[in-house]
Amino acid sequence: MPVHTHRITIETGGGSDMHDISSEVQQAVQRSECQNGLAHIFVRHTTAAIMIGEYEPGLVHDFPAQVERLAPSDARYRHNELNHDDNAHSHLVGSIMGPSETVPFTDGRLELGTWQQITLLELDSHPRRREVVIQIMGE
Ligand code: ZN
Question: How far, in Å, is the centroid of ligand 1 from the Cα of 46?
Answer: 8
68: phi then psi, degrees, rounded to nearest 5: -65, -35
pLDDT bucket at 14, cuts 50 / 70 / 90: confident
Question: How far, in Å, is the centroid of ligand 1 from the Cα of 55?
Answer: 27
Question: How far, in Å, is the centroid of ligand 1 from the Cα of 128?
Answer: 13
Residue 48 lies in a domain: yes
Residue 1 lies in a domain: no
Residue 15 lies in a domain: no
* Partners of residue 5 on adjacent β-strands: 135
CA angle 111, 115, 117 (to 5 degrees): 65
Residue 5 lies in a domain: no
Residue 83 lies in a domain: yes
Residue 120 lies in a domain: yes
pLDDT bucket at 53, cuts 50 / 70 / 90: very high
Could you write out the DSSP letters of every residue in 41-83?
Answer: EEES-TTEEEEEE---HHHHHHHHHHHHHHS-TTS--HHHHHH
Question: How far, in Å, is the centroid of ligand 1 from the Cα of 84?
Answer: 8
Residue 56: the pLDDT is 96
Mean pLDDT for 58-68 is 94
Residue 2 lies in a domain: no
Question: How far, in Å, is the centroid of ligand 1 from the Cα of 79?
Answer: 7
Tell which residue, 121, 103, 129, 130, has the closest CA to residue 28: 103
Helix (H) or strand (E) holding 118: strand 117-122
CATH of the domain at 93: 2.60.120.460
Residue 88: the pLDDT is 96
Question: How far, in Å, is the centroid of ligand 1 from the Cα of 30?
Answer: 36
Domain residues for the domain of 43 are: 21-138
129: phi then psi, degrees, rounded to nearest 5: -105, 120
Residue 20: the pLDDT is 97
Residue 131 lies in a domain: yes
Number of domains composing the chain: 1
Question: How far, in Å, is the centroid of ligand 1 from the Cα of 80?
Answer: 7
Question: How far, in Å, is the centroid of ligand 1 from the Cα of 130?
Answer: 15
Question: How far, in Å, is the centroid of ligand 1 from the Cα of 47?
Answer: 8
| Cα separation, 40 vs 93, whole angstroms | 21
What pTM did the predictor assign?
0.94
| Cα separation, 109 vs 118, whole angstroms | 14
